[in-house]
Amino acid sequence: MREPAKDKGRLDHILECINNIFEFVEGKTFEQIEGDKMCYFAIVYQLVIIGEAANMLTKEFREARPQTPWREIVSMRNFIVHGYNVVDKNEVWSVIQDDLVPLKLQIESYLEELTKSEESK
């Protein structure tokens, strides 16, 4: 069961995974990531965790924050898990380059919002 009290922890997991990905790719090109199986699959695994954590957020939390593409995040997780043999490395790189910074900013904002809400109780 999805519990509102666990939303903050799930957001923490998403943020941790994003930070891990940035650490893994720091100073590396697409070609270097593509050629390093361990690094590439570590990134893919982090994307799976991001999608799973997003999926486990409460419906109320996600619906109150429609600016985040929750459905796309969860869909990517599902595609990686179920279509593991056809995952496009270019698409993974595109997510890293184009989508993770905005997502990180949103997640940080949500965590700040939840922390302030907890402090005011």
Q: Tell me the per-residue pLDDT of 27-46, one tens digit each, with 9 for 90 and over.
A: 999 999 999 999 999 999 99
The catalytic position among 10, 13, 62, 77 is 77
Quick one: pLDDT band at residue 2, thresholds 50, 70, 90? Answer: confident
CA–CA separation, 84 and 6 (whole Å): 29
Mean pLDDT of the chain: 95
The whole-number pLDDT of residue 85 equals 87
2 is an active site residue? no
The whole-number pLDDT of residue 5 equals 84
Residue 109 has pLDDT above 70, yes or no: yes
DSSP code, position 26? T
| Residue 87 contacts residue 79 (beta carbons within 8 Å) | yes
The whole-number pLDDT of residue 1 equals 63
Spacing of C-alpha 109 from chain mean position: 14
82 is an active site residue? yes
- Closest-CA residue to 14 (of 51, 62, 41, 43): 51
